Amino acid sequence: MKKILVLLLFLQTFFISVSVTKKSISAEDWLSSWNNEMKIKIVNYIDMVTDPKNPGFIPESERFAVFDNDGTLWAEQPTVEELFIIYYAKKMTEKNPSLKNKHPFSRINDFYSNGKFVIKDRRIFDELVGIVHEGMTNKEFQKTAEDFFRETKYPGLNVPLEKIVYQPQLELMDYLRKNGFKVYICSGGETDFMRVISEKYYGISKEQVIGSELVFEYNENTNIMVRRSKLYTDNNGRAKAENIYHRLGRPAVFAVGNVRSGGDIYMLRYSQASEYPSFQLLIDHDDEKREFLYTEADNISLKWAEKYNWNVVSMKKDWKQIFPK
Amino acid sequence: MKKILVLLLFLQTFFISVSVTKKSISAEDWLSSWNNEMKIKIVNYIDMVTDPKNPGFIPESERFAVFDNDGTLWAEQPTVEELFIIYYAKKMTEKNPSLKNKHPFSRINDFYSNGKFVIKDRRIFDELVGIVHEGMTNKEFQKTAEDFFRETKYPGLNVPLEKIVYQPQLELMDYLRKNGFKVYICSGGETDFMRVISEKYYGISKEQVIGSELVFEYNENTNIMVRRSKLYTDNNGRAKAENIYHRLGRPAVFAVGNVRSGGDIYMLRYSQASEYPSFQLLIDHDDEKREFLYTEADNISLKWAEKYNWNVVSMKKDWKQIFPK
């Protein structure tokens, strides 16, 4: 019975791809930075799940999309969160110059070499992460992160941070929302950090951000929430699937991640546990000229993409334009 | 400066209560099961925060309401979740009769005395909780909970479970939604359990339920999520404030809890940390005839209500009708 349904859905998809699709695309081109091959696949899927007469129809209340952030919605060489840690550690030494000669602050300048940001010593970096977050109130954190986003340029590309988001993904998220999808971030990045820009950069409200989280401690006398440098959840790998269920109570049907560490494979795979037709996109960073070129040591994301029939986006081939103009 | 603002807001509230309010209430009576005194307070608040010309205006994206569930949205003598545990333990013995004579299943009948449900031995009950949840898939759990809700009558009141929700709260939630609020549950009850009925009973979608949560384990081969009988978060007391911040990234401005154990005080208090005007409702179970009568040993919820100026709802005095007809 299930096999028949799958076959029907497949046939349906096939028919759409030769008939309905062209109409939808030419009617209003929401995905103008996408080249045709991948665009047709996306539009076919959306046409199917939003058509009440189609057996693959998904009720609007069940239309959830999850996007990883680093390397999926914006560049990650280096990750913006890593830049923030060094930014804030520097701010701390400006306020309190005596820190400058103390470990690990004495090592801050190691993170730059010929104008490039590099984490040579992950241990030192992790020590800074702990110090930076520990004991900050959520308001201080928001303020500091806002300052950071205003003041920082992305190394290598030398542009403000709002210019490192991927234009095709902005279009895709708008297109999904236009079709009744609730768009969530599901990233290894820290939730509160992404919340500072999620609305402004992506149109995603704070409550629709799922990320790694620190332990918070609430004090009812001061009515203040304080951040502890202890992880409450590390939203990577398997935890992405689990946290999607924690937050949404069902799998998201549309899932988008990227090649780098295998961190998104469980999130992509889990979307296939939905009772509805699902769609997976895996971004491959293969564009040395316009963005960055990197691969995975074990190639696990691409292997799973093949095994489970996910759509692999070649940035080089599938994206007409990468960054906003 | 802050004091002046507070004073202005207070004066504003005063003016509204003698002028605008009557218009709003008579215009459309959304809170028909509420008596006038408390209704006016609620309507005044909503009029203030939805009026763009009022200094207390809250942008729609920031309008969040949180409701506790047990004793706030439905009756809790006993809690429905406790009934479910015994229901499921019984089902297990029906499937596997050899369990009947084994501890703790041999004790199931202890939970009923003269047709009343009572937890005499909390230790035995907690053992059953562990056994019931451990290793169930999320789909099995949903199915079982759906069966339970269909088959069960509430002891004492002898009505189906959908008849133990509070009519005034259904009206209040609709009224809030009509005014641009996103209504969340924030309860000590288990999230997945409440999700089974949150949409049907309250119009609250699954992703807007915040509750206690078990650890989930995801298996990518079977693509199945399994429940472990270990707590991931116990959403009571201070954790309610912390989990609201985890989930929403800011305090909710409208918070509703009830007297019983002090479990809602931090949630109510935390709403006052918002930068916007906030509103707190504490339900007092003082209606022996129509519902139940119970108080708190240490009276902490009522003490805090007085200290922090929360609105205390007397079910006897403030609610014309308690259950849906």
- Name the more confident of B28 and A259: A259
- Of the listed ranges A23-32, A152-161, B124-133, B227-236, the least confidently predicted one is A23-32
CA B279 to chain centroid: 16
- Return the closest-CA partner of residue A84 out of A129, A137, A140, A138: A129
Using DSSP bridges, classify how beta strands A64-67 and A182-190 pair: parallel, antiparallel or unpaired: parallel
Mean pLDDT of A248-268: 97
**How far A107 CA lies from chain B's nearest CA (Å)?**
32
Q: If you ran DSSP here, which 8-state letter would residue B181 be given? A: P
Mutate to test the interface with A, among B66, B193, B207, B272 (most CBs of A within 10 A): B207
Which residues does chain A have within 8 Å of residue B224's beta carbon, measured at their own beta carbons? 273
Query: Which of chain A's residues have a Cβ under 8 Å away from the Cβ of B204?
Result: none
Does residue A232 register a pLDDT over 90?
Answer: yes
CA-wise closest residue to B179 among B128, B254, B290: B254
Give the ipTM of the model, two decimals please: 0.91
Phi then psi for residue B290, to 5 deg, are -95, -25
Among the residue ranges A53-67, A127-141, A277-291, B63-77, the one predicted with the least confidence is A127-141
Cβ B249–A224 below 8 Å, yes or no?
Answer: no
* Chain A residues touching B189 at Cβ < 8 A: none
What pLDDT does A120 receive? 87
Are B218 and A61 a contacting pair at CB < 8 A? Answer: no
Whether B216 and chain A come into contact, CB under 8 Å, resolves to yes
Chain B interface includes A157 (CB < 8 A): no
A-chain residues within 8 Å CB-CB of B217?
Answer: 242
What's the average model confidence in pLDDT over A217-235? 96
Work out the angle between the directed axes of helices A122-133 and A80-95 (0-180°, nearest 10).
60
* Chain A touched by B218 (CB under 8 Å): yes
| Residue B301 CB coordination number (10 Å) | 24
* A225 contacts chain B (CB < 8 A): yes
Chain A residues touching B245 at Cβ < 8 A: 138, 216, 218, 225
Residue located via tokens 């006052």? B272
- The encoded tokens of residue B119 equal 């937890």
Q: What residues in A contact B206, CB-CB < 8 Å?
A: 248-250
pLDDT in tens, chain B (325 residues): 455 555 555 545 444 444 445 555 555 689 999 999 999 999 999 999 999 999 999 999 999 999 999 999 999 999 999 999 999 999 999 999 999 999 999 999 888 887 788 898 999 999 999 998 899 999 999 999 999 999 999 998 999 999 999 999 999 999 999 999 999 999 999 999 999 999 999 999 999 999 999 999 999 999 999 999 999 999 999 999 999 999 999 999 999 999 999 999 999 999 999 999 999 999 999 999 999 999 999 999 999 999 999 999 999 999 999 999 8
Q: Concatenate the DSSP letters of all residues of B205-243 into one string.
A: -GGGEEEEEEEEEEETTTTEEEEEEEEEE--STHHHHHH
List residues bridging with A159 in a β-sheet: A154
Which residues 254-283 of chain B have a CB within 8 Å of chain A?
Answer: 265-266, 269-270, 272-273
pLDDT given at position A17:
46
Mean pLDDT of A55-64: 98
